[in-house]
Amino acid sequence: MNYKIVTIPGDGIGPEIVREAQKVLEKVANVYGHNFTFEKVLMGGCSIDAYGVPLTDETIEKCKSADAVLMGSIGGKVGVSKWYELPADKRPEAGLLKLRKSLGLFCNLRPAHLYPELKNACPLKESIAEKGFDVMMVRELTGGLYFGTRKTEIVDGEEVAIDTLEYHDYEIRRIAKKAFEIAGKRNKKLTSVDKANVLDSSRLWRKIFKEVSKDYPEVTLEDALVDSTAMQLVRNPAQFDVVATENMFGDILSDEMAEIAGSLGMLPSASLREDSFGLYEPSGGSAPDIAGKNIANPLATILSAAMLLRYSFNLSEEADAIENAVEKALAQGYRTGDILEEGVEGLKLLHTDEMGDKIAELIG
């Protein structure tokens, strides 16, 4: 199959980690007989340096013309980099927000997988970490409290701030469909998280998830309250498979899950549109403290490339091949510095490019 992938290496470690993910995708193309063409574009600080703005219209158009976008990370050292002397809407992060909006990406996926080899990085009790977990958080990304109308005003001499939490049925229905489709490709268990004992928007959320569930009889739907879910995620994360929730709850729960999984360098993410198009990026930032040293962990970006194959190109076998190669590399003791456990014998420290080579070698 022929596919076009636009890459946005970005700033800091971005170019180093995207280069390795591209290397792995090229190996997949070779082994499985696909033709992936790559086009590199600028966004973030590097785009400010080249064009004076963090995102150009031309870059947006190039992304729109692709089948999927693979991104590294953008931004510099906040408070140190000259990019942060610019007004907020001209800074690197403004480019990413504008791109997500221009591409209509409303569904954010953040998997949190605890690999047995990295279980000591998990801050939970050993008895919990031992069981491992593999949770997929599906977060609504373009509605709810962060996008509702807001104002701060003086009422009867008091300062009052108002944020509006609003969801339309179509916004809930389209994210519900994505969540059920994803659950159908995994263990067929979906937990829909809300605060239906208090909020109208949550009661609508719950009602629509129930309606959509009729089209996916193979998936078991469970409702849960957000406060109870936050607790259960640290008590027994293994009970969850796919967790779907609205924007603000998802913002908080996905960071909680990232913390439980322990290793930032291992966490991929995806942002999807209604069709198969998506933008894929590691959950971490541009790590300016280690940029240019060839020591960054490329695995989150490589795992993002696996998600790209699974969710945008529907190439599950190829996605599995990448994920299995990552598991094999970890099982064989290969580590970048951030996931190297001190005092454990038999581990082999690799540079960024060597880890990319190792994963490519373990495919096919």
196 binds ligand NAD (CB under 6 A): no
Please name which of 253, 267, 241 lies closest in space to residue 180, comparing C-alpha atoms: 241
Whether 251 is a known active-site residue: answer yes
Residues in region 272-291 near ligand NAD by CB under 6 A: 281, 284-290
Dihedral angle sign, alpha carbons of residues 186, 187, 193, 196? positive
The minimum distance between CB 269 and ligand NAD, in angstroms, equals 8
Whether 200 is a known active-site residue: answer no
Please tell me which residue in 255, 293, 320, 348 is annotated as part of the active site. 255
* CB contact at 8 A, 253 and 275: no
Please name which of 323, 280, 299 lies closest in space to residue 108, comparing C-alpha atoms: 280
What's the CA dihedral at 339, 334, 290, 24 to 10 degrees? -120
Please tell me which residue in 195, 280, 311, 358 is annotated as part of the active site. 195
Site string for ligand NAD, 43-82 (x = CB under 6 A): ------------------------------xxxx-x----
Whether 195 is a known active-site residue: answer yes
The secondary structure of 252-310 as a DSSP string is HHHHHHHHHH--GGG-EEEEE-SSS-EEEEESS---GGGTTTT-S--HHHHHHHHHIII
Whether 255 is a known active-site residue: answer yes
Residues in the chain: 364
Whether 125 is a known active-site residue: answer no
The minimum distance between CB 135 and ligand NAD, in angstroms, equals 20
| Binding-site member from 18, 27, 55, 93 for ligand NAD (CB under 6 A) | 93
The minimum distance between CB 308 and ligand NAD, in angstroms, equals 16
Site string for ligand NAD, 290-329 (x = CB under 6 A): x-----xx--x-----------------------------
Residue 332 tokens, joined: 């064989």
Please tell me which residue in 251, 338, 353, 357 is annotated as part of the active site. 251
The minimum distance between CB 297 and ligand NAD, in angstroms, equals 3
Choice between 237 and 288, CB closer to ligand NAD: 288
Residue 180 tokens, joined: 């059920």
The helix (H) or strand (E) run that includes residue 92 is helix 92-103
C-alpha span between 166 and 204 (Å, rounded): 10
Give the residue numbers annotated as catalytic, written as ranges.
146, 195, 227, 251, 255
The residues of the shown chain that bind ligand NAD, judged by CB under 6 A, are 13, 17, 73-76, 78, 93, 96, 264-265, 281, 284-290, 296-297, 300, 338
